[in-house]
Structure 1
């Protein structure tokens, strides 16, 4: 082997290791990246993020491309590396008086195999894998376009690999992994939030708020409402002095305004910041009607998830909970939810 051939083979070995590392990094980065991270960049017009988003949306196909690249690079590394180490070690073994050609070849193969395996695992597998796990977003953006080119260039073979793998899965009674399969279940989310609170120093309150949010779709207004007997309301028939005393004694910020004090005849909601300016103008609770805000009525079985959405859409903070006959059962606020 001439010096030029030796140098070219060394360069080819290093190139194959780097290619293997590229495909390993691409595989782990694209599996680990969150779609929401890419969506934010796509909304800003980031071109590479659009390519990466397309890859994540068709993950199964592109993962087969990374596996093809890893396999080709690994096989090529063995094919090029073994003769290289044989040519490198044979003169040394001859000088050490190893006369048997078969023994020289066995020693060269063992040393070459060990060295290539070490190089392949460290530089071609572990280092890119750990980098991708720690920095999935920048690596996903970096590998997206080259991986797309490789996928298009090897499309026929990738198509064959995908359909063959899917056929094998069907024979085993399994199906291909869908995007839904990558989503976390509610139990997993609870575990992740608890773990994050323990290791990242997140506040217990913040964790509880998020955990409670997961219960919204299962809970109803009846479970969190303030019962009828605990509602503090303003009476249209009462004097303004009496209304002010009720507000100051309760220390609430919003009060249902009821006709004749009847909770089944609620006319609106009076906010404390509207009540105080009226204390010198109004003589009775009836005079508070102009500043009373809109009120909504919801059934006791209303889902908290829908109720929260309604509050946010209409910019409301309070609703009256009614039974099947329209009678007031209680009151639910944004704070209760």
Structure 2
């Protein structure tokens, strides 16, 4: 009877030990952000788990107390119970009493230690690691009440611990430590590798941390490529420049581009009444930034100044180039369409019946879908301009054309406008090979 009671008590304390190990590991591993999400979802035990996560050190001490008490009880009850069972068979072998007692104690110690390590430590630890959130919620309420019941003892232990820590020069004021930038990067990489974070999301977040490694000079539009407006030009010339380009903001200079005095917004030009003069144009302030300004600080400056454009100046105060907010955003999310480009440019514009004007940069897959067939079965180009170059087999001049035939139709491709060696606009005309009128 005594043996049965001892074994039942050993089983109870093994479960008790396992519970506190689960509570300890789930408490250490669970993130506060996970608990906050569970609280918002109304998960059972989440509020108690949140309270525990805000006082980690105290509850870890409670876990240690529980583990220590359970371990002592297991050793105190388990080894004698197992030894008593083994003692009689060993004595029957005719061994001396001293040898029998020593062997029985050793075997009992090994068995209880194995049970304690496997069932009381390793298994619950693995369970907590594999399903941290679940066991954090499961253990929260019992752990809370155990801490409350043992609070006087815990207060004494924690006070003594804190006193020793202060004597050794350690600060115990805060138990919460923020992640460093490198640690956050590692967390992001691990989340991406495990599939918890999509690859494109990881790249965006990773790019955010790289902003302070790049400067304004690295992403600016160089001075030689700027489309700028001379303040001394008349209104007609200014509007002509703005109409010939697709930008929304144009830097304005006086005398030369080293003296940028502001910028003109395209919407201010659109709002001018018919009888306006150059004096009616609104020239907005533009902020200068040094070439070496890090992108994170550049973005912060633009947000603080409520602007989306800045002039980059070199060490001598001369103009190096222009940088925009979209240049910075592009460093985060990759290549993007500049927000300062007009977005009303049709890539396939119907000019008249069976006549279309096509942008040379239109992806060839979209154009093939528009045509309804592939002009060339196998192609290694990406745009309509590349398609025409392949068909005409030369760099065309404006007005050059080529015809192809398909399904009793003649399709004529004409280079309408050229941008240096690039085909900018292509005319596409459909005609029936017969004298019948084309139908759509």
Same-fold call, TM cutoff 0.5: yes
Among 165, 171, 195, the residue aligned to 2:161: 165
Aligned to 1:25: 22
Contact 1:82–1:109 under 8 Å retained in 2: yes
Q: Spell out the pairing of 1:1-337 with structure 2 (5 A cutoff).
A: 2=1, 5-46=2-43, 48-94=45-91, 96-98=92-94, 100-176=96-172, 178-181=174-177, 183-194=178-189, 206-216=201-211, 224-232=219-227, 237-238=236-237, 242-247=241-246, 254-256=248-250, 264=260, 266=262, 268-270=264-266, 297=287, 299-300=289-290, 304-305=295-296, 308=299, 318-321=308-311, 330-337=322-329
Higher share of residues assigned helix: 1
Contact 1:20–1:73 under 8 Å retained in 2: yes
Q: Which whole-Å CA distance do the structure 2 matches of 1:29 and 1:289 have between them?
A: 65
1:18 offset after TM fit, Å?
1.0
Residues 66-106 of structure 1 show CA distances to partners (whole Å, capped at 9, x for unaligned) of 00000000000011112211332233234x33453333322
Contact 2:26–2:132 under 8 Å retained in 1: yes
Q: TM-score w.r.t. structure 1 length?
A: 0.74
Q: Which whole-Å CA distance do the structure 2 matches of 1:87 and 1:126 have between them?
A: 27
Q: TM-score w.r.t. structure 2 length?
A: 0.59
Q: Per the alignment, do residues 335 and 9 of structure 1 end up closer, same or farther by CA in structure 2, a change over 3 Å counting?
A: farther
Q: Per the alignment, do residues 196 and 145 of structure 1 end up closer, same or farther by CA in structure 2, a change over 3 Å counting?
A: closer
Gap regions ≥5 residues in structure 2: 330-440
Q: Per the alignment, do residues 21 and 186 of structure 1 end up closer, same or farther by CA in structure 2, a change over 3 Å counting?
A: same
Count of equivalent residues: 318
1:65 offset after TM fit, Å?
0.5
Contact 1:238–1:284 under 8 Å retained in 2: no
What is the RMSD computed on CA atoms of the aligned residues?
Answer: 4.2
Q: Per the alignment, do residues 49 and 232 of structure 1 end up closer, same or farther by CA in structure 2, a change over 3 Å counting?
A: farther
Q: Which whole-Å CA distance do the structure 1 matches of 2:8 and 2:174 have between them?
A: 40
Residues 253-304 of structure 1 show CA distances to partners (whole Å, capped at 9, x for unaligned) of 6443759999845455448xx99xx7xx989998x989x9x98747558774
Q: Per the alignment, do residues 315 and 129 of structure 1 end up closer, same or farther by CA in structure 2, a change over 3 Å counting?
A: farther
1:187 offset after TM fit, Å?
2.5
Instruction: Pick 1 or 2: higher relative contact order, CA cutoff 8 A, min separation 6.
Output: 1
Q: Which whole-Å CA distance do the structure 1 matches of 2:304 and 2:46 have between them?
A: 32
Q: Which whole-Å CA distance do the structure 2 matches of 1:233 and 1:284 have between them?
A: 21
